[in-house]
Amino acid sequence: MDEIILYANNNVVMRREDLIHPFISGNKYRKLKYNLQKAKALNKNTLLTFGGAYSNHIAATAYAGKSYGFNTIGIIRGEELKDKVESNPTLKFAKSCGMQFKFVTREAYRSKLENDFIENLKLEFGDFYLVPEGGTNQLAVKGCEEILNIDDEGFDFICCCVGTGGTISGLINASKSHQKILGFPALKGDFIREDIRKFAKKENWDLITDYHFGGYGKIKPELITFINDFKRKYNIPLDPVYTGKMMYGIFDLIEKQFFPKDSKILAIHTGGLQGIDGMNIKLKQKGWSQIE
């Protein structure tokens, strides 16, 4: 993947996982890789997964299904979205890739891991290969372990954004003992630690929980300004839900001298750029500046 030095005096390097694929980019490619192989091995012809209105995972799964010969079904959080598919960039794209939708209430969506919920889906749709929300399972973590390579041993800190915990778990497992893995959650709260511990095999990690900007899918004007300034300076687009928040956090921590002098930092760009269009719709409604 392409890499670019961002902060020469602090040795910050960005790994552009977003350039892996135009539609199955970044960590979504990594998470789906071995799940698609297993689905093929099990002779499954349908993928079923879960996501919200602007889910990177929904978009990536829909395109992967189209590309590799799977039918796809998306269980979408929010019944009110049923009549808004054509005005929602993510869902419209997924539909164009052939994904079939089932819209459920937020209350019902919270039951997505329960056996009764899954069994009812099987009665409705028939046999399918289940890909968890965000794509995170043991096979996804295996894929994310491949983000790092032998040439990365010189980095002291490896930073990534955190959604469902699969990407950081892979990075932790692939890291060396002298390295510290820092995760920047897009969600409010610290509950994701327990999910990470289910997959992570080492203890050389921590979460930086001060840069969620109000929670998942939330944004503030200073983040928009940062993302746009970043793109002008480095010619790298950042998504506003994940990588934008992480990079804001890294730069802020550098200013606060959080990192020891001469630390070498690797920041992982996990993609998610398809979400910019959806976020700009929200920003326009608020009368705020758009993300370039």
DSSP character string of 146-186 = GG--GGGGG-SEEEEEESSSHHHHHHHHHS-TT-EEEEEES
Rounded to whole angstroms, the Cα distance separating 165 from 177 reads 20
Q: What's the whole-number mean pLDDT along residues 212-228?
A: 94
- The residues pairing with 265 across neighbouring beta strands, listed in sequence order, are 12, 157
Contact 132, 32 (CB under 8 A): no
For the segment 49-84, what is each residue's pLDDT rounded down to a tens digit? Answer: 999 999 999 999 999 999 999 999 999 999 999 999
Read off the pTM. Answer: 0.95
Backbone angles phi, psi at 183, to 5 degrees: -105, 140
Is residue 9 over pLDDT 80?
no
Is residue 263 over pLDDT 80?
yes
Q: What's the whole-number mean pLDDT along residues 266-285?
A: 95
Q: What's the whole-number mean pLDDT along residues 102-121?
A: 96
| pLDDT reported for residue 215 | 87
| pLDDT reported for residue 288 | 95
Binned at pLDDT 50, 70 and 90, residue 94 comes out as very high
Q: What's the whole-number mean pLDDT along residues 244-251?
A: 97
Binned at pLDDT 50, 70 and 90, residue 3 comes out as confident
Percent of the chain predicted with pLDDT > 90: 92
DSSP letter at 260 equals P
Q: What's the whole-number mean pLDDT along residues 124-152?
A: 97
Binned at pLDDT 50, 70 and 90, residue 232 comes out as very high
Is residue 8 over pLDDT 70?
no
Q: What's the whole-number mean pLDDT along residues 214-240?
A: 95
Is residue 231 over pLDDT 90?
yes
Q: What's the whole-number mean pLDDT along residues 235-254?
A: 96
Token readout for 190 is 């610290």
Mean pLDDT, the chain, integer: 95
Q: In what order do the strands lie in the sheet with 100-104?
A: 100-104, 71-77, 46-51, 129-130
Contact 195, 225 (CB under 8 A): no
Q: What ranges make up the beta strands (E) of the chain?
A: 3-7, 12-16, 46-51, 71-77, 100-104, 129-130, 157-162, 180-185, 205-207, 265-269
